[in-house]
Structure 1
């Protein structure tokens, strides 16, 4: 694995709910002790159902959401310990690509003004340098230099996402959180944006935390994958190993939910029943046990540690050694 650029240790984000002068209130546990690394030039995928904590994790890493506890380190900087002035300076090292390309762009600002704003904020270049940089960025993401004079409503969804990517690249970041950057786009446009990100990753040596729900996209783009459920890591490993040999029932269920191109193929599936439990009142023991077809009594009593297996996989399941979840297609 590449040398770590980002190190996340025991990250927690908890929100007090309903507390008042006369009432104690409860705690919503959005993230609960998440640890992982992202290597230099590596793309790490983050998957899980809606409500699993993916977006919260991405924003907590960037301190757009304040962590309750834990540590985030980017290079030699402890992001979680930085005062506001130093954090602002570090923003040029870490950026985000948002899910909705239209909502993330100011409709009253031209594309050139949007890209130039980041350059001015971080005092990068002279006015002439910035104009040149804006044109270069637009060409880098597949748009003409003349797009700088136009406004967001004049572009398609895919083109607006290219502008969002250009904005993230403007300040030469080392690390980018891509928060479901293709989920709001048509399938044909999704492929174009994914290929663009793959090309930029190779050209610039970018490190990405790619948040998504389309497992085929994750498999194509990512080196390693983290599976998140109710704010906790269920499994992590290389994309190739995780897709070929999932070791957690939740990972198997996510893979089984993905459509198969060949309609004649038949296979046994794990089907999730019920809804994601509330993070205000998570199940005891393994948080996945209430929906797991392999749960036993001990699953309600033991919080499974994230154990490293012989394959280098890490999995949080007390039955991982006895279950065969490879589930070959019949």
Structure 2
């Protein structure tokens, strides 16, 4: 079996909070022992509620946030602890698309300057070559070449996200973290951006870690899905298997919260009650147990491991073998 493009093992991102000269403070475990891989040309979806650690995980993979512990291997090279000069060279292969397209663009720089900056930073081409490359990339994302002379405020939200995608693609990366790239857009524009990402993925052979909360988008775009809750992975499977046969109560609750196209459809639903617990003081045992309708006494004492329940399907639940969540 071929080595995955990205391999993450037991990754942890912990933040000290409230530490002063007179008190030790506490630790927020934003990401707590997460492992997964992304194959070449694969789109891996990362889903969960706000506060589950998705964005922190995505940025720590790129070392935009420094991991506390664990391993991130890209193309066989260890990224954690990599020297700055070597990391700078690697960043040409690992890019990010941000959630808010306007906040991620410098309003004082033209579109051409914004996209060309990455080429200049990585010493790619002459000035003429870079200008030509910027025009080619703009056309690839559905914008005219003349857009390079305009500024971010002259574009709509969907167009600005296309500019963000163009900036990420400028240096021909192999891997992209897409951090909720459509959540700030109207539904009709979301569909256009998702279709664009699908086309680019197929044309360029991109590997993508797609972070989102819209399960219909995840189902359409992603090959596999990782479900996160409070810094831990609850379930991972192929998209088809996850949607047809969820094995973790949290996954089922997320699916049940999604709108159903058929208003006549009736099914028993799992409804999440209460708020996400604080990562400063997470529940003992299974972190989901305080909101799980199937929790038993043992759930408070046992930290469930992510165990296989089928081919490419794993669940972190001590009751996974006895629960039927598909009815």
TM-score bracket, normalised by the shorter chain, equals over 0.9
The answer to whether the 8 A contact 1:53-1:230 is kept is: yes
Does the residue aligned with 1:81 lie in a helix, a strand or coil?
coil
Alpha-carbon deviations, 1:194-248, whole Å to 9, x = none? 0000000000000000000000000000000000000000000100000000000
Query: How far has the Cα of 1:3 moved from its partner?
Result: 4.2
Aligned partner of 1:17 in structure 2 is 17
SS at match of 1:4: coil
Gaps of 5+ in 2: none
Partner of 2:101: 101
The residue that corresponds to 1:223 in the other structure is 223
CA shift digits 1:71-112 (9 cap, x unpaired): 001002111020111111111010000000000000110000
Matched, 1:188 2:188: yes
| In 1, Cα distance between equivalents of 2:90 and 2:3 | 20
Q: Which residue in the other structure is 2:282 paired with?
A: 282
Quote how far apart the aligned CAs of 1:192 are. Answer: 0.2
Deviates more, 1:2-11 or 1:170-179: 2-11
Is the contact made by 1:14 and 1:68 (CA closer than 8 Å) also made in structure 2?
Answer: yes
Cα displacement (A) at 1:61: 0.3
Does the CA contact (< 8 Å) of 2:194 and 2:221 recur in 1?
yes
Q: 1:80 maps to which residue?
A: 80
1:166-204 CA deviation, whole Å, 9 max, x = no partner?
000000101000000000000000000000000000000
Residue matched to 1:134: 134
Q: Map of 1:249-264 to 2, 5 A cutoff?
A: 249-264=249-264
> Hey, what does 1:302 align to over in structure 2?
302
The corresponding residue for 2:154 is: 154
Paired residues for 1:156-171 under 5 Å: 156-171=156-171
Q: Pairwise CA RMSD of aligned residues?
A: 0.9
Q: CA deviation at 1:312?
A: 3.1
Equivalent pair of 2:4/2:37 in contact (CA under 8 Å): yes
Which shifted more, 15-24 or 58-67?
Answer: 15-24
SS at match of 1:80: coil
Decide whether the 8 Å contact of 2:236 with 2:312 is kept in 1.
no
- 1:266 offset after TM fit, Å? 1.1
State whether residues 110 and 151 of structure 1, in contact with CA within 8 Å, keep that contact through their aligned partners in structure 2: yes
Distance of 1:18 and 1:182 partners within structure 2 = 34
Instruction: Answer yes or no: is the 8 Å Cα contact 1:304–1:316 preserved in 2.
Output: yes
Aligned to 1:242: 242
Instruction: Please list every run of 5 or more consecutive structure 1 residues that lacks an aligned counterpart in the other structure.
Output: none
The Cα shift of 1:2 comes to 6.5
8 Å contact 1:224–1:236 — kept in the other structure? yes
Structure 2 residue aligned with 1:8: 8
Any conservation in 1 of the 2:15–2:30 contact (CA below 8 Å)? yes
Displacement of 1:118: 0.5
**Residues of 2 paired with 1:311 and 1:295: CA distance?**
26
Tell me the secondary structure at the aligned position of residue 305 of structure 2: coil
Judge which range, 96-105 or 82-91, deviates more.
82-91
